[in-house]
Amino acid sequence: MNRRFPQIALGLLLCSDLAMTAEPKDRVRLIEVSELEVLQRTSKSAVTVLDANDEEFREKNGVIPGARLLSSFNKYDVQKELPADRDAPLVFYCADRL
């Protein structure tokens, strides 16, 4: 994993069962990079990391290796950009720059 990321204030959301269901199952939580690494090693199904940062941020800070780049942080096409498996663990990466 890129060494810059642990130094950046990361906001990672683990969103299992949330992406395509009408009612969230309260499985959204913030995680640290170290937790993501453990999750990637131990999860029964592949963990999808979705980068919701804008181009300017990505150019300056890079991207997490293997992450899917969302077209927009809030207007992406769920059917095209998220895995079809509704039980797949999803991690959304979006740096808080406010």
Q: Which of 54, 56, 44, 55 is nearest to 85 (CA)?
A: 44
Q: Do the domain assignments include residue 86?
A: yes
Q: Do the domain assignments include residue 33?
A: yes
Structural domain span for residue 55:
5-93
**Per-residue model confidence (pLDDT) at position 20:** 38
pLDDT tens-digit series, residues 43-81: 888 899 999 998 899 999 999 889 999 988 778 888 888
What is the count of structural domains for the chain? 1
89 close to 19: Cβ distance less than 8 angstroms: no
Q: Do the domain assignments include residue 17?
A: yes
pLDDT tens-digit series, residues 12-50: 444 433 333 444 455 778 888 899 889 889 988 889 999
Q: Do the domain assignments include residue 16?
A: yes
Q: How far is CA 47 from CA 35, 36, 50, 57, 90, in A?
A: 12, 9, 10, 23, 6
Q: Do the domain assignments include residue 98?
A: no
d(CA 22, CA 90): 16
* pTM of structure: 0.66
**Confidence band (pLDDT; 50, 70, 90) for 11?**
very low
